[in-house]
Structure 1
């Protein structure tokens, strides 16, 4: 992975340096050459098309990626102007060249986890239902060490199976379950106050994941302990989808996939009729 990142970043760094030299040789205070501006735009666009996507799946610090994005966004905007000031374009390109010195050094000295080190295959093998597309994509996330993306997609697969099972059981039974729960004044469900009348999958898909978990327990598809574990998986999915300082590593990933696999994806209670 390191070699690939170095190849991509060094190639782009060289392209930025080359266009900087061409702009430097241009005579006049404003750039009017359409071909030069088009080439400058193309060089800036490479950051967004190739470099940034590669860096976002690596252990390179987000600060450097954000800084590069800001620089090449300005470079792209400036090059799109009809007659940009040569000095302004040169200044932005100088920032880009300097940014690459730090970025390439960071890649050269960073430690990268081998893509083959992590795999969710044991937890998803044998699954042939529609959520398999989510899980196949989740495994591909690990090829670039994108653990957060892998977790988000794993939860998508989980909810897809839950929704499919509830649809199979019947929307009327789901609606009746929420009505019974909201009518409770004592016991575990006395605080649940969301009554739904669902008639289609599209309506079911609009219901919050946490409410679906309550209905699953009420219908005895899961017990209280399984409910709590799934709620933890849901919170872990939220943590993965939003900025935060808590690290996500292999053990976290495997704990998450173990739970969603055992409680939902490979649980006979959630098997779908063929």
Structure 2
């Protein structure tokens, strides 16, 4: 498996560096040569068609895969423009070259085997590297059939994104939402009573996950059905983190990751401005 990984990544890296040289020799401010744009598309699509699927099958770090996907997605978008600016394409290529040096080094120094069992890559592919550390470790849990650990780490990534989004929206807005909900005497939020005064991320991190979900619904980042499903995911997290007789199956795992991916991690409403 390692030999195959090195063969494919080194070949793609060679294509990328050759393309970098050709773009460097191009004299115009805008790339109008059809052959260059065609080659750019070819290099970019090779990542999606050949390289990424192989890396996912080897359970390579999810954050690393997401980083490469972001780079080659941007390259493909530029290559599809009629006359892209050379100054816009060149930095993306340079970023891809540096990324590949790190990637190949990681493969050279790592140990890999094809994952034939459970795999969460379809649910986390294309994400930014922000949650990569949690999700990378979650995938590695599956290599030793540790489904409970995989779920706990998936919930960590989910809450990390929720907290980051709420911080971006504003701590005052979060605090005001809890006060408004606690003041309701009728309707959906009448049973919510936990007021919070939050002024920093460290204070937000002390708020219970269930309260965070209520605020998300109040702010209309999720609806009632999504709230209930995420609460169910939270219960899976609790069942996984505490002793009990209820087993966690592959079906449970995939249902969990499908929901956190659709409702939070890949939901445009939770995209961060960075």
User: Do they fold alike, i.e. is TM over 0.5?
Assistant: yes
Rounded to whole Å, the distance in 2 between the matches of 1:248 and 1:176 is 38
SS at structure 2 position matched to 1:130: helix
Matches within 5 A, 1:49-60: none
- The reply on whether 1:257 has 2:270 as its aligned counterpart is no
Please state how far the C-alpha of 1:115 moved relative to its aligned partner: 4.8
Contact kept, 8 Å, 1:115 with 1:144, in 2: the verdict is no
What corresponds to 2:170 in structure 1? 170
Q: Over residues 90-113 of structure 1, what are the superposed CA-to-partner deviations in whole Å (9 max), with x where a residue is unaligned?
A: xxxxxxxxxxxxxxxxxxxxxxxx
Rounded to whole Å, the distance in 1 between the matches of 2:166 and 2:188 is 21
Q: Over residues 49-104 of structure 1, what are the superposed CA-to-partner deviations in whole Å (9 max), with x where a residue is unaligned?
A: xxxxxxxxxxxxxxxxxxxxxxxxxxxxxxxxxxxxxxxxxxxxxxxxxxxxxxxx
Specify every segment of 5 or more residues in structure 2 that has no aligned partner in the other structure, as ranges. Answer: 1-113
Contact kept, 8 Å, 1:115 with 1:145, in 2: the verdict is no
SS at structure 2 position matched to 1:263: helix
Rounded to whole Å, the distance in 2 between the matches of 1:115 and 1:248 is 19
Rounded to whole Å, the distance in 2 between the matches of 1:168 and 1:248 is 34
Contact kept, 8 Å, 1:116 with 1:143, in 2: the verdict is no
Please state how far the C-alpha of 1:268 moved relative to its aligned partner: 0.2
What corresponds to 1:209 in structure 2? 209
Rounded to whole Å, the distance in 2 between the matches of 1:175 and 1:242 is 30
What corresponds to 1:191 in structure 2? 191
Q: Report runs of 4+ in structure 1 exceeding 4 Å deviation.
A: none
Rounded to whole Å, the distance in 2 between the matches of 1:179 and 1:257 is 32
Matches within 5 A, 1:1-274: 115-274=115-274
Q: Over residues 138-179 of structure 1, what are the superposed CA-to-partner deviations in whole Å (9 max), with x where a residue is unaligned?
A: 000001010000000000000000000000000010011011
| CA-atom RMSD in angstroms | 1.0
Q: Over residues 191-222 of structure 1, what are the superposed CA-to-partner deviations in whole Å (9 max), with x where a residue is unaligned?
A: 11111110000000000000000000000000
Rounded to whole Å, the distance in 2 between the matches of 1:246 and 1:115 is 26
Please state how far the C-alpha of 1:243 moved relative to its aligned partner: 1.1
Please state how far the C-alpha of 1:116 moved relative to its aligned partner: 2.3
Bigger CA radius of gyration? 1
Q: Over residues 117-157 of structure 1, what are the superposed CA-to-partner deviations in whole Å (9 max), with x where a residue is unaligned?
A: 11000000111142111000000000101000000000000
Contact kept, 8 Å, 1:182 with 1:195, in 2: the verdict is yes
TM-score (norm 2): 0.58
Rounded to whole Å, the distance in 2 between the matches of 1:127 and 1:145 is 23
Q: Over residues 216-250 of structure 1, what are the superposed CA-to-partner deviations in whole Å (9 max), with x where a residue is unaligned?
A: 00000000000000000000000001111112111
